[in-house]
Amino acid sequence: MKTSDIEELLLKSGNRAYQAGPLNEETEENTQYGRLPKAYVTDGIFVKPAKEDMKVKVNYTDIVWIEAENNNCHIHLSAGAFLTVRHNIMTLMEMLPKRWFVKVNRSEIVNISRVYKICGNMLSVDGSSRSFSVSKSNRGYVFSCFKELSR
């Protein structure tokens, strides 16, 4: 390699390193917990199942839908199982990433990356045999989450 080629490679890699920022820099992400370091779990959430003394990590991609029942919620997973947690639906909604989950009615949250069919105000979700009714109050926001090609 020529010296000029090496200098160009070093300059490009230096620019990428500069754009990435310092290794120990904290993010400016605003959460209810304040500033978070770069090394935190972003692909899931730890939940404590009802009547258990442990916390279990649930990946966001494994969550199909969540239903509320009194002050408990059932987190339905892609494997067909579900976890019951002692949180209300609003608490769970605040903890989940908004880009993946939407509240479709007063008692159900759906993983929008799993929606495969929209028929009127009903959503069909991969991993569930049932359809989900979108309430009138949530309809505008829920349907704005999807790109459509229509005539």
Task: Delimit the domains of the chain by residue range.
Answer: 1-40, 44-144
First-to-last alpha carbon distance for the chain, in angstroms, is 56
Full-model pTM: 0.70
Q: Do 103 and 89 touch, CB atoms closer than 8 A?
A: yes
Does residue 26 have a pLDDT over 50? no
**Cα 126 from chain centroid?**
16
What the block records as the tokens of 5 is: 């080629």
Q: In percent, how much of the chain has pLDDT > 90? A: 53
Mean pLDDT of the chain: 81
What the block records as the tokens of 72 is: 């408990």
Half-sphere exposure of 70 (CA within 13 A, CB side): 4
What's the mean pLDDT in 6-31? Answer: 51
Q: Do 85 and 47 touch, CB atoms closer than 8 A?
A: yes
- Does domain 44-144 match CATH 2.40.50.1020? yes
